[in-house]
Amino acid sequence: MTPRSIDVQLFGTPDVRVGSFRCPVDHPEFRVAGPIEGYSVAFPRTAVWIQHEGQQPFVADPMVVTVYNKAQPYIRLPLAPDGDRVDWFSVSQPLAAAVAAEIDPSSRETPLRPFRTARAPCDRTLYRRQRALLHRIARKELPSLVVEQQVVLLIAAVLRASTAAARPNSLRRRVQREVAEGARAELARDLATTPSLQELAGRLQVSPFHLCRVFHRWNGMTLHEYLIELRVRAALEGLADPPANLSLLAHRLGFCSHSHFTAAFRRRMGVSPSRFRLEQSLTSRGMTLS
């Protein structure tokens, strides 16, 4: 049986749409994705390689937001075994052009392709923000006007982050970028495994010191910090299933113990995994913790 890709629209008006997309690695059209139907930002739940037409490929994992103009040509290559899983927020051309012009006035020169970058960094605040918004949209808790407003503001935040991260693309920066992207790919390929620094540097054919320096420069954190951040964000998927055993989830994601998982999660999300899961469960039933 041919594996299916699933694209579910959770919200839709003439100007704003929100949905979730899932595509297994063995889908026959995994590499050549269909045309992008709107001006969109997508928040990855897993890791894949994405390459926009005429640009260098990059690792699309939960630490980045991918950005697309309407009908954007791109290809997708497998990385993590779970395939491509993203949640997306899309706006019409007039809205996209208006938002982009506020962030980058030069985008007025290309009104049909106002989004000038392929990706943006996704810090914890932005990641939690889109997760909370998607959850409330899926539960139909928000009026249409509120959803439209929040999606526009979310896309503006993504464009600001992408503009702040953009720098002149010198040869030296391109070489460093390849090292940083390669390291991100190796870390995202198997979250349960923690490679040694020497092993990781050997795979990328660079010195351990060079890898540490370049990775921190490009990602704003160490290799270990980045891996733990990926594991915590992946844990949000497992916590969406109430019966999940937290100790087994911690082990599956590579944490050495339940307590290590809890401490790392609380440090990044502000609550323990069990508290987060309880809050999500109560919210889905229209209840809150006192």
**Per-residue pLDDT at 26 exceeds 50:** yes
**Per-residue pLDDT at 290 exceeds 50:** no
Per CATH, the number for 221-290 is 1.10.10.60
Integer Cα distance of 58 and 220 in angstroms: 17
Domains 6-165 and 221-290 share a fold: no
Tens digit of each residue's pLDDT (9 = 90 or more) over 149-183 = 999 999 999 999 998 777 667 788 889 999 999 99
What's the pLDDT at 240? 74
pLDDT confidence tier of residue 284, bands split at 50, 70 and 90 = low
What's the pLDDT at 70? 95
Tens digit of each residue's pLDDT (9 = 90 or more) over 203-246 = 999 999 999 999 999 999 999 999 999 999 999 888 876 667 89
The residue extents of the domains of the chain are 6-165, 167-220, 221-290
Integer Cα distance of 226 and 135 in angstroms: 25
Integer Cα distance of 255 and 266 in angstroms: 14
Burial class of residue 118 (count of CB atoms within 10 Å of its CB; 0-12, 13-18, 19+): buried
What's the pLDDT at 2? 58
Architecture of domain 6-165: Sandwich (2.60)
The sign of the torsion formed by the CA atoms of 102, 103, 104, 107 equals negative
Tens digit of each residue's pLDDT (9 = 90 or more) over 266-282 = 999 899 998 888 877 65
**Per-residue pLDDT at 5 exceeds 80:** no
What are the distances in angstroms from CA 251 to CA 36, 85, 87, 173, 257?
A: 37, 22, 26, 37, 7
Model-level pTM? 0.89
